[in-house]
Amino acid sequence: MKTLLEMSGVSVSFDGFKAINNLSFRIGEPELRAIIGPNGAGKTTFMDIITGKTRPDSGTVVYGEKSISLLKMSESEIATVGVGRKFQKPTVFEAQTVRENLAMALKNKRGPFDVLLYRKTQAGARRIGELAETIGLTDALPRIAGELSHGQKQWLEIGMLLAQDPRLLLVDEPAAGMTPAEREHTTDLLKRAAQKHAVVVVEHDMEFIRRLDCRVTVLCEGSVLAEGSLDHVTSNPEVIEVYLGR
């Protein structure tokens, strides 16, 4: 597995408080990685640094074969090189159908006016079909997105991110507000996405993480406290003390 993103010695302070403290992290492509840690551990800040929303005070973040520095790029440039982010709250176009949402999200090199045209091309229709299958919304394609359940909206948004062919997908607390059946579907979906992409999932729900069955990074006070299989990290006394034992 080749490395897609490597963060080394990254620190960031907010008003003198070190939210990220000499953090080093590496993810391969493809790979599925879960990030856990107590409140305030720096999980959101970690993702903000990758997407360019927060600039670190020191350290490096390099990406891709050419090891380009993400720290020199704007948020939109970082998105263009293939970093997609899914926030906790779903943001789909509620008044459009599932099919239209996916069509709008498809990478379209011909400009915005051709979006609906693209939908009608064979390649576009095939890709929409594939995406719908990946996210388990094939039967829902003609439905208005606003009528979907919370879980279905989350899957649609993941599909919209996948439509843009990201190389790295950052997913923030996907299990929140989902039914047990929706959570199960979501873990399957993320595992499928991680066969081709690098996928980082920040989540508190340990059952969800167990189902992801992937390498886990434990963050604490802005640094990596432990890393490895879920069984490995959850048997670490320090992890039990700061996170699990509370």
Residues contributing to the site for ligand ATP (CB under 6 A): 14-15, 19, 37, 39-45
Q: 10 Å Cβ neighbour count for 81?
A: 15
- Cβ closest to ligand ATP, residue 12 vs residue 92: 12
- Residue 13: strand pairing partners: 18
- Cβ closest to ligand ATP, residue 42 vs residue 174: 42
- Cβ closest to ligand ATP, residue 35 vs residue 128: 35
- Cβ closest to ligand ATP, residue 68 vs residue 244: 244
- Tell me the closest approach of the beta carbon of residue 104 to ligand ATP, in angstroms: 30
- Tell me the closest approach of the beta carbon of residue 174 to ligand ATP, in angstroms: 14
Residue keyed to tokens 């490895």: 228
Sign, CA torsion 163/28/31/214: negative
Burial of 191 (0-12, 13-18, 19+ CB in 10 A): middle
Helix axes 122-135, 150-163, angle to 10 degrees: 140
**Contact status, residue 22 vs residue 13, Cβ threshold 8 Å:** no
- Cβ closest to ligand ATP, residue 54 vs residue 164: 54
Cα(126)–Cα(110) distance, rounded to whole angstroms? 18
**Contact status, residue 218 vs residue 52, Cβ threshold 8 Å:** no
Strand arrangement, sheet containing 17-29? 17-29, 2-14, 58-63, 68-69
- Cβ closest to ligand ATP, residue 118 vs residue 243: 243
- Tell me the closest approach of the beta carbon of residue 178 to ligand ATP, in angstroms: 17
- Cβ closest to ligand ATP, residue 51 vs residue 138: 51
- Tell me the closest approach of the beta carbon of residue 44 to ligand ATP, in angstroms: 3
- Tell me the closest approach of the beta carbon of residue 133 to ligand ATP, in angstroms: 32
- Tell me the closest approach of the beta carbon of residue 212 to ligand ATP, in angstroms: 17
- Tell me the closest approach of the beta carbon of residue 55 to ligand ATP, in angstroms: 12
User: DSSP characters for 160-226?
Assistant: HHHHT--SEEEEE-TTTT--HHHHHHHHHHHHHHTTTSEEEEE---HHHHHHH-SEEEEEETTEEEE
